[in-house]
Amino acid sequence: MAGYDNTSSSAWMGIQAYPTPRAEVFANLAWNRATATITDFAYDGGEYTAQMVGLDYSLHSASMAGFSNLEFTRIGLNGGMNFRVSDPLIVNVTVDYSKYDDKEPYLFSVTGSYVRFFGGVTWVF
């Protein structure tokens, strides 16, 4: 009997604060880690007395047991501030960071990250 085990851990945290009557500060974190692996894959290429005729690779290679293994970590950070300059005018600033870390690529590595800066103004009427 073979098996396939997978796990995932997810954590998040958000903080919202009002240090002054005119300012709001916020920060958010999201984190996720997931793994998957074949278990009890009891094939042993050594049980074959010879390489299968016509093939230039072992039919049951050691890499087969881990072929579908997966592991990745994803993290997202988001923070910013809204500040009321005057009655109708508010300034907004936000920074986002996100990273996907593919520690055990399947067909190809999908590791990547980005940072986004945002600045703007809002007029309330």
Partner 1 sequence: MRSRITSVVAAAVAMLVLAQPLAAQTPAPAPAPPARAAAPAWEGTFSLGGSGFSTDGYQGRVAEYNVTDQDALASIKALLWGEKDGFRYDITAVNGGDSRDQNYAASVDIKRILKAHVTYRSLPHRLDHDTLDYVDGGSGLGGTFIVRHDDTDPAAQYEMKYGDLEAGVDLTLKNLTFFLGHERQTRGGSHQVMTVSHCANCHTVAFTKKYEEVTRTLTAGARLSLSAFTAEYTFTDRDYEDSGANPLNQFDNAVQPATLQDIFLNRVQYDDANGLLPVSSDPAIRKYSNTLRARLAVKDASLSGIFTQAHTENVDQDLAYDYTGGSTRLFVPIGKKMSVKADFRRYSLENDSVFVDVVEQTAPAGLSAGLTYPQAFPTAFPATFDFVRDSSMNRTPTEFGVELGIQPAKRTFLRFGYGFQAIEREFYEVEKTTTNTLYFAGRSTINKQVNTRFRVQFEDIKDPYLHRQAAIPAVLQPTPSAGLSPLTGLQYYTMYQSRQADLTSFPTQSLFVEGLVTVTPNDRLAITGHYRFRDSENNALNFSDWGRTSSSPGVDIWFAADDKWALTAGYVYQKEQLETLFSTLAFSG
Q: Which of 8, 61, 62, 85 binds partner 1 (CB under 8 A)?
A: 8
Q: Which of 45, 62, 66, 122 binds partner 1 (CB under 8 A)?
A: 122
**What's the closest the beta carbon of residue 46 comes to partner 1, in angstroms?**
14
**Cα 24 from chain centroid?**
28
Q: Rounded distance, CA 99 to CA 74, Å?
A: 6
For residues 13 and 46, which CB has a smaller minimum distance to partner 1 in the complex?
13
Count of residues of this chain found to bind partner 1 when the rule CB under 8 A is applied? 72
**Cα 90 from chain centroid?**
33
Q: Rounded distance, CA 29 to CA 118, Å?
A: 18
Query: Which residues between 25 and 84 bind partner 1 (CB under 8 A)?
Result: 26, 28, 30, 39-41, 43, 48, 52-57, 59-60, 72, 74, 76-78, 80, 82, 84
**What's the closest the beta carbon of residue 88 comes to partner 1, in angstroms?**
9
How many Cβ atoms sit within 10 Å of the Cβ of residue 72?
A: 19
Q: Rounded distance, CA 34 to CA 103, Å?
A: 10
